Amino acid sequence: MKTLKILVVSDSVGETGEQVVKAAATQFRPDFEDTIIRKFPHIQNDEHIENIVELASMQDALIVFTLVERSKRDLMIELCKEHQVASFDLLGPMIGLIEKHTGEKPLQEPGLVHKLDDDYFRKIEAIEFAVKYDDGRDPRGLLLADVVLIGVSRTSKTPLSQYLAHKRLKVANVPLVPEVEPPEELYLVNPKKCFGLVISPEKLNIIRKERLIALGLNDDAMYAKQTRIEQEINHFYKVVNKIGCSVIDVTNRAVEETANVILDQIEQ
């Protein structure tokens, strides 16, 4: 089998090119056997491009490049033709398409997609918030949250909190159990911000049994018994009816689908 060598060249970190190259390469070498992918990030000047093309020529390698500056893209194409190196411009055609469609000129500034702007810091803040106020650890977070999730154990409250946090929303979640009264702060939350997560008893029974087995415990514990689950769900409905919040059935929904339901309601 011929060794596949690909050089990924970028004026930024090169993640985009690397991921596309890997996605394509796995169609031929699923285990990356006899495959070498080298990344050359932060290309600053013409000399760097010249050296990389010469290296590709000597090693019989392909070049995939994501260069936002037109002059650097043109130079790369010209040098690859001169040295008979197969290359692919991953970014240029898309930039050209958008330029033609909008009539606007591209900024040609490398690394803008990774720029540490306000949006980035909002996401980090939201993720930290979700961790801090996960699983009802601190009820004070309920009044600071953009979204409050409530539900019995194993209704995907934590993964949903993290997913929404990546959408820049501050999320707190509270587990509901019949023996413990919900925190007073929960009843002070705007019902439009609060979402109850419910699941069918049968599905929850299966999930909890699998969880117990994964922990090396007996799957006939009270935690997974049908009567206990029904008791918890009845308690759940008493709480959500008192709050007056929306209820989402997550029985056959992926986290992303549940998140989209919440996002749609918030936008409305």
Q: Which residues are annotated as a binding site for ADP?
A: 151-158
Can you tell me whether residue 179 is helix, strand or coil? coil
Give the annotated binding-site residues.
Answer: 151-158
| Phi and psi, residue 37, nearest 5° | -120, 120
Q: Read off the tokens for 40.
A: 């050359």
DSSP assignment, residue 18?
H
What are the angstrom distances between the C-alpha of 164 and each of 85, 99, 129, 134, 175?
A: 45, 33, 11, 13, 18
- Helix (H) / strand (E) element for 122: namely helix 118-132
Q: Read off the tokens for 108.
A: 């040609």
What gap in Å lies between CA 140 and CA 193, rounded to an integer?
A: 15
What gap in Å lies between CA 144 and CA 125, rounded to an integer?
A: 13
What gap in Å lies between CA 155 and CA 126, rounded to an integer?
A: 21
**At 253, which amino acid appears?**
R
For the chain, report the end-to-end CA distance as a whole number of angstroms. Answer: 57
3-state secondary structure 55-96: HHHHHCCEEEEECCCHHHHHHHHHHHHHCCCCEEECCHHHHH
Per-residue b/e over 9-25, b at no fewer than 16 CB within 10 Å? Answer: bbbbbbebbbeebeeeb
What distance lies between CA 5 and its chain's CA centroid?
30
